[in-house]
Amino acid sequence: MKRKVTKAIFPVAGLGTRFLPATKSVPKEIMTLVDRPLIQYAIDEARAAGIKEFIFVTSRGKSALEDYFDHSPVLEQELRKKGKTELLETLKATDMESGAIAYIRQHKALGLGHAVWCARRLIANEPFAVMLPDDVIAGEMPCLQEMVAAYEESGGNIVAAMEVPPEKTSSYGVLDIREDHGSMVRVGGMVEKPKAEEAPSNLAVIGRYILEPTVLRNLNKLKQGAGGEIQLTDAIAEDIASDVPVYGYRFRGQRFDCGSKAGFLQATVAFGLSRPELREELAGYLHEIIQTDKAAQ
């Protein structure tokens, strides 16, 4: 039976060590692309897909995230007094309906599967989405919205998928393709972070999932997988054997790996160029440094 997807889990407990020293005091999900934190992009995408309940799996040191989605009466009063209606409007993106957002602590860093499992009681017996805010996807239609539309047709578990260079498979969950139907792929198996020579394909899992509650039951076993962690990939793959289908969804948007510095910088440039008020100045600057670089060679 296919049901509506209204809940999403945002695993945000990671230490963000790749961005130290910044992440010593700033959660990486609060790091900004232009003027919006990574988490805002994920929340906007979730809302567009019809998500009504937002579950954050957090850890120590993430209180800035909770504050971000809270009302800030002093700031709002000040902006109102100064007649800054545009800025007040901008703040609306951070508004959350009372009770729509929940924070659960992951007490131990035992892996992505464990983080998702921490939210099991809030999900109960419904299909749900998982969004990894490190993966920022720009596209005409938000990625999760495309996936929800696909889910309404197919049911089952759906993971966002994208071809990666073979030497990069060791950074991703990788799909074993059973049937390839273009944008939808029926999956026959999944491997977490395989070496290039062991990867079943180069179709990698990107951080958007729509999952059946059976995956939470698989996670109950808390089995360790790759890197000694409890892997979400393994819990999804386990469904294949019990005939709950798993699909890979080749989304149309452009994905930025904001968990890496190079990806974060690329996203900053791309999102900067997509802003009409910044485009000309930024493009001019980029053009200039490329010319200078060429001349120097």
Task: Enumerate binding residues for ligand G1P (CB under 6 A).
Answer: 112, 132, 135, 172-173, 192, 204-207, 232-233, 259
Residues with Cβ within 8 Å of 63's Cβ and at least 6 positions away in sequence, in order, are none
Please, what is the minimum distance in Å from the beta carbon of residue 206 to ligand G1P? Answer: 5
Please, what is the minimum distance in Å from the beta carbon of residue 113 to ligand G1P? Answer: 8
> Collapsing DSSP states into helix, strand and coil, what is residue 50?
coil
Distance, in Å, from the CA atom of 110 to the CA atom of 232, rounded to the nearest integer, reads 11
Please, what is the minimum distance in Å from the beta carbon of residue 6 to ligand G1P? Answer: 23
Structure tokens at 33: 């692309």
**Comparison of 31 and 206: residue with beta carbon closer to ligand G1P:** 206
Q: Which residues of 198-210 are buried (b: 16+ CB within 10 A; e: fewer)?
A: ebbbbbbbbbbbb
Q: Which residues of 72-103 are buried (b: 16+ CB within 10 A; e: fewer)?
A: eeeeeeebeeeeeeeeeeeeeebeeeeeebeb
Kindly report the backbone phi and psi dihedral angles of residue 70, in degrees, each rounded to the nearest multiple of 5, phi listed first.
-100, 160
Please, what is the minimum distance in Å from the beta carbon of residue 258 to ligand G1P? Answer: 10
Please, what is the minimum distance in Å from the beta carbon of residue 272 to ligand G1P? Answer: 23
CA 73 from chain center: how many Å? 30
Please, what is the minimum distance in Å from the beta carbon of residue 75 to ligand G1P? Answer: 33
**Comparison of 31 and 79: residue with beta carbon closer to ligand G1P:** 31
Helices 143-154 and 38-48 pack at an angle, to 10 degrees, of: 40
**Comparison of 79 and 237: residue with beta carbon closer to ligand G1P:** 237
**Comparison of 145 and 233: residue with beta carbon closer to ligand G1P:** 233
**Comparison of 109 and 290: residue with beta carbon closer to ligand G1P:** 109
**Comparison of 79 and 201: residue with beta carbon closer to ligand G1P:** 201
Q: Which residue is nearest to ligand G1P (CB)?
A: 173
Whole-number Cα distances in Å, 51 to 54, 99, 241? 7, 13, 29
Please, what is the minimum distance in Å from the beta carbon of residue 83 to ligand G1P? Answer: 43
DSSP state of 285: H
Distance, in Å, from the CA atom of 2 to the CA atom of 126, rounded to the nearest integer, reads 10
**Comparison of 5 and 258: residue with beta carbon closer to ligand G1P:** 258
